[in-house]
Structure 1
Amino acid sequence: MSALPMPAPSATMPTAPLTVAKLRHDADQFDYLGMRGLLDPAYHAMAARYRQLADQLVAEGVSKRQQWSAAELQAIGSIYNRTLHRRPAAAVVEPLGQWHASAVEQAYFARQPHIVIIDDFLARPALASLRNYCLESMIWNSLRYSHGRLGALYHQGLRCALLDQLATALYAALPAIIRPRYRLTQLWAYKYPADMPGDDVNADFAAVNVNFWITPDQANLDPASGGMHIYDVAAPADWQFEEYNRRPEQIRRYLSASGARAYYIPYRQNRAIIFDSDLFHGTARCHFRDDYESRRINVTLLYGQRHQDDTQPAQSRLQPQFERGWRSAALRRQRRG
Structure 2
Amino acid sequence: MTQIASPPHPPEGSFSGLPIDEADLPTAHELYRGMSIVRAVELEIEKMHRLGRMSGSFHSSLGQEAAAVGVCSVLRVGDMVTSTHRGHGHALAKGVPIEGVFAELFGRSAGVSGGRGGSMHLHHRASGFLGENAIVAGGLPWAAGAAWARRRRGGDDIAVAFIGDGGFAQGVTHETLLLARFWKSPCLIVCENNGLAHSMPSDRLFGAPGTIARTVEGAGITSRYVDGRDVVAVAKVARELVAHVRAGSPAFLECGVFRVRPHSLSDPDYRYRPKTAGRDWLALNDPMANLRTRLERFPGNEVARIDAEVAADVNAALARAEAGPRPPVTDAKSFVYTSPELQNRA
TM-score w.r.t. the length of structure 2 is 0.23
* Structure with more of its chain in helix, by fraction: 2
TM-score by length of 1: 0.24
